Amino acid sequence: MSTEPPPGSGQQPPEDDPFRKQPPPGQGSGSPYDQSYGNQPPPYGGGGGDPYGGGSYPTDPLAGMPPLAESGRRTLARIIDLILVGIVVWLLTWAFGVHEYDVNSDHVSYAKSLGQSLTAAVLYIGYDTVMMAKSGQTLGKKWLGLRVANLDNGSTPSVQTNLIRAAVLWIPFAFCCACIWTAICGGWSFFDKPYKQGLHDKAAKTVVVSTR
């Protein structure tokens, strides 16, 4: 079968990526998603092309990919990841004495607060970037049957793409507005149409799909 990406895709997905979506009819076959959708119309409507101007496919970019993940399940997966990495952050900051605040006779050490924020940002960004560069999944996403995919071709996002996605999500979370930013950035997927993207997905041009 042909392994060349469609003209105008602007990138070369890895040849061994099992998550690459099926090119339009007549341009090859073999995607694991063919068994689910075959030649049926895309589940999210036709037409429109790549919303980011990449021109990867002449039809809906989601054609040939699994269904978009439910926002509620995405939120639960994110909570799981928050807890897992949060435990590591707490242990490290406790071990090195950089708790959020160290109050002593009305004195608050903001240097320690900054140290914890920096530790949290590095660990959360590193966790998301490394885990998802391998399979498009963090532990939370894997356990709940979710995966992050490039919108234009369905492949697993690159390290650079995952780094952008993680930085947009976690830098504001760690340094200034944790609860508010998380609610806005991740909660955006509850209202976004047609791709259910969070703000970090929009920055990285990714979507989250269901694997089961």
pLDDT number for residue 4: 52
Write 86-91 long-range contacts (CB < 8 A, 24+).
Answer: 86/120, 88/123, 89/116, 89/119, 89/120, 89/123, 89/124
pLDDT number for residue 65: 78
pLDDT number for residue 12: 52
pLDDT number for residue 93: 77
177 alpha-carbon distance from chain centroid: 20
Query: What's the CA gap between 11 and 20, in Å, rounded?
Result: 12
Q: Which of 2, 58, 66 is nearest to 37 (CA)?
A: 66
The answer to whether 111 and 119 have CB atoms below 8 angstroms apart is: no
Whether the predicted model's global pTM rises above the 0.85 cut: no
pLDDT number for residue 56: 46
Q: Report in angstroms the alpha-carbon separations of 175 from 127, 181, 187.
A: 17, 10, 19
pLDDT number for residue 18: 54
Instruction: Name the H helices within 23-146.
Output: 34-37, 71-95, 110-135, 139-143
Query: What's the CA gap between 57 and 9, in Å, rounded?
Result: 8
Q: Which amino acid is at 177?
A: C
Interior angle at CA 157, CA 153 and CA 158, nearest 5: 125
pLDDT number for residue 143: 96
pLDDT number for residue 81: 94
- Token readout for 158 is 């690159």
The answer to whether 75 and 57 have CB atoms below 8 angstroms apart is: no
pLDDT number for residue 13: 53
Query: What's the CA gap between 29 and 113, in Å, rounded?
Result: 54
pLDDT < 50 stretches in the chain: 2, 8-10, 25-50, 52-58, 101-103, 105-106, 108
Q: Which tens digit of pLDDT belongs to each residue from 56-108? A: 444 567 777 789 999 999 999 999 999 999 899 888 878 766 555 444 544 54
Is the peptide bond preceding residue 194 cis, with omega within 30 degrees of 0?
yes
- Token readout for 195 is 């791709």
pLDDT number for residue 20: 63
